[in-house]
Amino acid sequence: MIKKLQQLKAKKGFTLVELIVVIAIIGVLAAILVPTMMGFVTSSRVTSANSTAASFEDQIEQFLTDCDTKGYGMKSGNTSTATIWIDIQPNKWTTTVDTLGSFKKNSSTEWKAGTAITSADTAIAKSANATDLMSIKLMSLFPDLQQGTVIAWVKAGNVEALVYTADGNAYANLGAAKGAIGTVASATYGNGGALSGNGVNWGKKTAQWDQKTAGISDTGLTVGTSPALALGATS
C-alpha cells in the first residue's frame, strides 16, 4: 500500500508555469500561421476567379466569331465597341449589351435587349435575339455557376478586358450588380480608365491592381480579371 502511495506521489502533472509557456507558444504559432493560411486561401480564390474570367473571355470571343460567320457579329473598326454585362443567378442568366448599334444583323437574327434565360428555356435556342442566344450558350458551358457577375469590354469582336466575381448579392438586379463591381474594383485598364462602364481605354490593356491584395477589391470582393492584373501602381 505504501509503495502504491509513493508511486502516485512520484507522478507529476504540468505545473501552471509550464501550461502558460505552452499556451504562449501556441499563441505565437497561431499568430504566424493563421495569416499565412488565410493568404493561401485568398490566393486560391483569386486564382480560381482569374481562371473563370479567362474562360469567359475565350467563350465570348468564340461566340462572337460564330455570330460573325452567320452575319450578325460586331461591326469592324475602332468605333465598334460595347460593354456586355452578364448577371448570373440560380438557373437564370441575363445578358445586357449597352451598345446594340455596334452589332450587325441578318435577315433573321439581331442583337436586342436581353431577357432572363432559365435552364428550361432550351426552346429559345432558335431565337432571333442574339443577346439571349449568348445567355443560352454560356449557361450551357458553365453549368455549375449559380451566382456571379461578368463584365466584358469588347471591340470589333474581341474581348479587350473582362472581370468576373461570384461574390456579392447574387439576387440583386443587374443594375445593382453593375454597381457592385463598377464602384469597388479599383483596378483600371489603360491610362486612368475606370474599371466600369465604358471607362476602358480601348487603346491599352496595361493595368494593375491598386489595392493591398491583387484580385481583392477595396470592399472585399474577389474579382477575377482577364488579362489577369497584378498588384502595383496603374501604368
How do residues 17-59 score in pLDDT, each as one tens digit? 777 888 888 877 777 766 666 666 778 888 999 999 999 999 9
DSSP state of 107: S
Name the grid cell of 148. Answer: 456571379
C-alpha cell of residue 151:
463584365
Residue 14 confidence (pLDDT):
65
The more confident residue out of 161 and 187 is 161
What pLDDT score does 179 carry?
42
Nearest of 124, 159, 118, 157 to residue 139 by alpha carbon: 118
What confidence tier does 11 reach under pLDDT thresholds 50, 70, 90?
low
Listed residue (181, 203, 184) closest to 192, CA to CA? 203
Average pLDDT over residues 8-18: 64
**Greater pLDDT, 114 or 31:** 114
pLDDT tens, 60-75? 999 999 999 999 999 9
Per-residue cell: 220: 472585399
pLDDT reading at 202 higher than 60:
no
pTM, to two decimals = 0.72
What residue has cell string 488565410? 38
pLDDT of residue 154: 87
Residue 7: per-residue pLDDT: 58
Question: Residues of the chain with pLDDT > 70: what percent?
Answer: 65
pLDDT of residue 156: 87
Task: Give the span between the Cα atoms of 84 and 80, in whole angstroms.
Answer: 13
Q: Cell for 24?
A: 504562449
Count of other CB atoms within 10 angstroms of residue 82: 19
